[in-house]
Amino acid sequence: MKNDCSVVKDLIPFYAEGLVSIETKEFIDDHCKSCEKCRILLKKLAESPEKQEINDTKKEKIWSEIATKEQKRKKKKYLTLSLTLVILVTLVVLGFIFLPKPLQKIYYENQVTQYDFTFTEQTLAKTGFTENDIHAASEAVNKFFEEHTDDRKLLRLAYDEEETTDENKTVYNPNHADAIVFIGDYYFFDDPVAGDGSRLRTYWRWFVKKDSNGEWKIIDQGVC
């Protein structure tokens, strides 16, 4: 197509003056049916009062004008598409933010909880906990959310190895000693703090410890 344009561009001045063969004329006509640039060039040359004296400079000038208009048209089209995309994304975001409460709840209820219990053997040795301990302790957090399915959904739960092995974690609460620490986030369907039943995704930390009966219990929790 690009090579055909170059050929047609060179032949059009002769076409306009009727100096081409029947075969060449048919070739140019067929090409111009599907090529807007060449069709415009042909029209301009045909309407030019100086067509008998058309030279390469004038031909290139007309071709440049067509290319400039084509670039402007494409730029306008691109800007229109970009603006449309921005508007659509904005509407989607706003629609989700102001999603009716029942629909918002359905959306989060169907989210799959992500778990990450990555650990190193060195920290297990340091704390004395086992892999089974970590999983058993995590069930205490899961149980809490199973008891609160009407107002919150656990979205992510991860073993916080650094906090679990931190000897200074007892600074604010001595009971944190020998506790396994988890971090994560959950979705609160009704936020009592906001007081408007709005959406709230909360990033949280849980301290889980064995009680006197050997059962893992949440002994403390709070915002990360």
Exposed e or buried b per residue across 31-60, where buried means at least 16 C-beta atoms within 10 angstroms of its C-beta: bbeebebbbbbbebbeeeeeeeebeeebbe
- The pLDDT of residue 102: 60
Between CA 158 and CA 165, with CA 161 as vertex, the angle to 5 degrees is: 145
Of the candidates 75, 71, 1, the residue with the CA atom closest to the CA atom of residue 38: 1
Over range 117-132, report the average pLDDT. 89
Q: Where are the alpha helices (DSSP H) in the chain?
A: 2-16, 22-34, 36-47, 56-97, 101-109, 121-127, 131-146, 161-165
- The pLDDT of residue 131: 93
Task: State the pLDDT confidence band at 5, using cuts at 50, 70 and 90.
Answer: confident
Cβ neighbours around 170 below 10 Å, total: 13
SS (H, E, C) 59-102: HHHHHHHHHHHHHHHHHHHHHHHHHHHHHHHHHHHHHHHCCCHH
The Cα 124–Cα 130 span in angstroms is 6
The Cα 193–Cα 175 span in angstroms is 27
- The pLDDT of residue 52: 45
Is the Cα dihedral 80, 82, 83, 84 positive or negative? positive
Asked whether 182 and 137 are in contact (CB, 8 A), the reply is yes
Of the candidates 66, 57, 60, 56, the residue with the CA atom closest to the CA atom of residue 14: 56
Report the amino acid identity of residue 194. Answer: A
Q: Is the pLDDT of residue 81 over 90?
A: no
The model's pLDDT over 132-175, given as tens digits with 9 standing for 90+, comes to 999 999 999 999 999 988 788 899 999 999 999 998 888 888 88
The model's pLDDT over 27-73, given as tens digits with 9 standing for 90+, comes to 888 888 888 888 887 777 766 655 444 455 655 666 666 667 667 77
The Cα 189–Cα 170 span in angstroms is 32
